[in-house]
Amino acid sequence: MKSLFLWLLLTVVLSLAGCAGPSEQSAAPEPAPAAPAPAAEAEPPKPVPPAEMIARGIFVGRSGKPMAKARLMLGEISGDDVFRYARIRLVAKVATAVADAEGKFEFKGFAPGVYTIVYQPAGSAGIVPVEIPIRTLSGTTDSIAPLLRGFELGRETPFGKRPWGTYFTLLEGHTLYSEGPKMRIWNATARYTQGGAHVEVRRGEPWTAKLDAGGEIRFEAWSF
């Protein structure tokens, strides 16, 4: 009897164990979010080939009037230990530009760098040499006002044409800088030989600009 009771009790216990659901398992931890992929390094901009270099500009006189039909040539300035500027050499691979009715022009096919512009106004027929010596533009001459020092002459009363050295003529309206007994060119349009190349001088030095792809140039002729 006792054995029968134990057997029944064991049967009930086993039945209850079978009805119970499986024990809950601890939830597996969610995987950590993947680290974002490193951003691709930006490629350095590719240099623009010289053949594709284009710089646009506008050429006007000091009055703002367009210098229509003027021929413009790109030049490089080189010097030596004695003279800061010695000569302008035209860049052969850059074609001559011609200003349109609004004075707009463009240069193509140059390497980035610092350049000057040599030009001929409309109607000029002189020959422009490949190389133009400009040492005399940095030279001085006897001052017309030797008692003045550090003074710009010609602002109030414009000067007429004036020869400067062997080959250059300063056109009307130029200014000079008095350094006591001597004076030098300050702001001027300097013409190289009759009907030849014209060079712009600003504050005692030939006009220059740094040109790169897409550059914009405003070029003014002092004496026009």
Token representation of residue 119: 């030009």
pLDDT digits (tens, 9 = 90+) for 59-74: 999 999 999 999 999 9
CA 173 to each of CA 159, 189, 208: distance values in angstroms, whole numbers, following the listed order: 5, 8, 20
The contacts of residue 80 (CB under 8 Å, 6+ apart) are 86
H helices of the chain, in order, are 2-19
For the entire predicted model, the pTM comes to 0.76
Tell the residue number behind the tokens 């010596």, with chain if given.
133
**How high does pLDDT run on average in the chain?**
83
Distance of CA 54 to the CA centre of its chain: 11
pLDDT value, residue 82: 58
Picking from 123, 93, 96, the residue whose alpha carbon sits closest to that of residue 196 is 123
Q: pLDDT at residue 141 above 80?
A: yes
Q: What does the DSSP 8-state code read for residue 62?
A: T
Q: Worst-scoring range by mean pLDDT, 37-41, 61-65, 88-92, 187-191?
A: 37-41
pLDDT digits (tens, 9 = 90+) for 183-220: 999 999 999 998 889 999 999 999 999 998 888 999 99
What is the CATH T-level fold of the domain 50-221, as seen in this structure? Immunoglobulin-like (2.60.40)
> Is 203:194 a contact under the CB 8 Å cutoff?
no
Residues 6+ positions from 36 with CB-CB distance below 8 Å: none
